[in-house]
Amino acid sequence: MKREFAVIGLGRFGASVCRELSAEGMDVLAIDVLESKINEFRHIASHAVIADSTDEKAMKELGIRNIDHVIVAIGDDIQASILTTLILKEFGVKKVTVKAQSNHHEKVLLKIGADQVIHPERDMGRKIAHSIISNNFLDHLELSNDHSIIEIRASKKMIGRTLVDLDIRAVYGCNVVAIKSNATNKMNISPLATDKIGPDDILIIIGADTDISKFERNLVIDD
């Protein structure tokens, strides 16, 4: 059975989520208060409706409670974003993902039952800053407020050395959970302490953000 999604707010972020879900063949209900946005999405999403998501009656009539996953992408109007989330959770929508504008906004959203809160601008800003500092930095995934997984390309300081030589766990408190070998193109998901790191190998590392920062400064950035 096709999964059903709704995207509320078709600004740049909501529009991009809506286009991508639709391109992947998902059933998407696009909602915005602006007629111009809805006209734009009429031929992209499965359904596109002009509605105010803070209007409980309108949301009920749209049958939003039966949708598997709703993405609230209202940006500037924090009050509307909070009220919409509240209505969706009161309706019993299983999964509600909300775009937050600030840490305070996130706190409120989590308190009222948002299942997932995202900060696309903050996260993208962080990724770009890291990749500007080092070409070896590839990706960052936030696991909690203080733990992350990062993906990096082996730096000059790592190439030809083993995990024992680098002593990453003892020195930096981080764990290398996988190494993708450039030579064999295979993913080694439980690297041994004696495995040697090759040129262009990709390492996946988990740890506390403070430990990861120390690791990045000392081992990932090439001098």
- Chain positions contacting ligand ATP, by CB under 6 A: 8-14, 31-34, 37, 52-54, 74-77, 80
Closest contact distance (angstroms) between CB of 9 and ligand ATP is: 3
Nearer to ligand ATP, 75 or 207 (CB): 75
Ramachandran angles phi, psi of 181, nearest 5°? -80, 130
Tell me how far, at minimum, the Cβ of 69 lies from ligand ATP, in Å. Answer: 17
- Of the candidates 165, 216, 155, 152, the one whose C-alpha atom is nearest the C-alpha of residue 193 is 165
C-alpha span between 73 and 81 (Å, rounded): 8
Residue that is written with structure tokens 């078709």 in the block: 10
Question: Which residue, 67 or 80, is less far from ligand ATP as judged by CB?
Answer: 80
DSSP class of residue 196 equals: B
- Residue closest to ligand ATP, measured at CB: 75
Rg (CA), the chain: 22
Nearer to ligand ATP, 100 or 154 (CB): 100
Beta carbon nearer to ligand ATP, 105 or 157: 105
Neighbours of 155 (CB within 10 A): 20
Looking at beta carbons only, is 76 or 223 nearer to ligand ATP?
Answer: 76
CB of 133 to ligand ATP, least distance (A): 25
Q: Report the nearest approach of ligand ATP to the CB of residue 128 (Å).
A: 16
Q: Count CB atoms within 10 A of the CB of residue 48.
A: 21
Look at the chain and count its residues: 223
Task: Please state the closest distance from residue 60 (CB atom) to ligand ATP, in A.
Answer: 14
